[in-house]
A = this chain, B = another copy of it.
Amino acid sequence: MDSSIKKERPRGRLSREMIEDAAFEVIEREGLAGFSMRKLAADLGCEAMSIYHHFPSQAHLHEALVDRLIGSLEMPDAGLPWRQRMHIAMHDFRRIGREHPAFAPFLVTYRMNSPTCLTWLSDILGLFEAGGFGPELSARLFRTVGYYLMGAILDETAGYAKGPSAATTVSDEQLARDFPNVAAAGRYFGAAEFDRTFDLGLDMLLDEMERALGGANSR
């Protein structure tokens, strides 16, 4: 058996899909800032520059990862009520963020303009419009839930994105003494409460949207 250190991998066996798969792994293992083309290459058993044959730059690779994630999303069953469909779509997006916590900051910061992403965006806008909102309100409400979603994903994945704060941190004792209400709130800030907290805010927004719809209809 061949015993070279690098995995035996004949030429011509590198593909975009393989590279993307490995990139997700390296990012989650090393963190987004710790990711590099050389580490990715080491994972793939090739040299860094070989990757450039498939992606013209690291930025292109990162954007391809976004495309992969967004492209994997499916719109909820059109037979369901509007509110339920919106609820599902929001949870779907949140899920792909949480499944790739180290990549999540890039995902939510990225300004979508690829066909794949625009399709998703268009579908979500269409969901609002199908719910009875006009073009303007659909756009603004999309932003509203989008903002909420972005912030939630960032918070819920923040523990993975960067290590502990470098600068002065406040000890638990000092926190309990000087900021008792923050210490008390900490109980509801933990990962165990993410689902409940997320749904609270999401339902508040959806409640208010339905109210706006009902008000317009009954008027």
A interface residues (Cβ-Cβ under 8 A, vs B): 56-57, 59-60, 63-64, 67, 105, 108-111, 113-115, 118-119, 121-122, 125-126, 129, 135-136, 138-144, 146-152, 154-155, 158, 161-162, 165-170, 175, 178-179, 181-182, 184-185, 187-189, 193, 196-197, 200-201, 204-205, 207-209
Shortest Cβ distance from A42 into chain B, in angstroms? 24
Min CB distance, A108 to chain B, in Å?
7
Q: Which residues of B contact A129 (CB under 8 A)?
A: 181
Given contacts A181-B129, A207-B208, contact A139 B60 (CB under 8 A): no
Are B139 and A185 in contact, with the CB atoms below 8 A? yes
Instruction: Decide: B122 and A182 in contact? CB cutoff 8 A.
Output: yes
Known A108-B154, A197-B143, A208-B207; judge A113-B169 contact (CB<8 A): yes
A147 CA / B56 CA spacing, docked (Å): 35
Report the copy number of this chain in the oligomer: 2
Interchain CB contact under 8 A, B114 and A178: no
A–B complex contacts, Cβ < 8 Å, 26 sampled = A63-B165, A109-B158, A113-B165, A113-B169, A114-B165, A114-B169, A114-B170, A115-B170, A115-B178, A118-B170, A119-B179, A122-B179, A122-B182, A135-B184, A139-B184, A140-B201, A141-B200, A144-B197, A146-B155, A147-B151, A147-B155, A148-B148, A154-B154, A204-B205, A205-B205, A205-B208
Within 8 Å CB of A140, what residues of B?
A: 188, 193, 196-197, 200-201
Which B residues touch A197, using CB under 8 A?
140, 143-144
Closest beta carbon of chain B to A93's beta carbon, Å: 12
A189 contact set on B, CB distance < 8 A:
139, 143
* Most B Cβ at <10 Å: residue of A111, A148, A187, A207: A148
Pick the contact of A204: B110, B144, B149, B154 (CB < 8 A).
B144
Q: Which residues of B contact A109 (CB under 8 A)?
A: 105, 154, 158, 161-162
Task: Say yes or no: A185-B60 contact (C-beta < 8 A), given A151-B151, A170-B114.
Answer: no
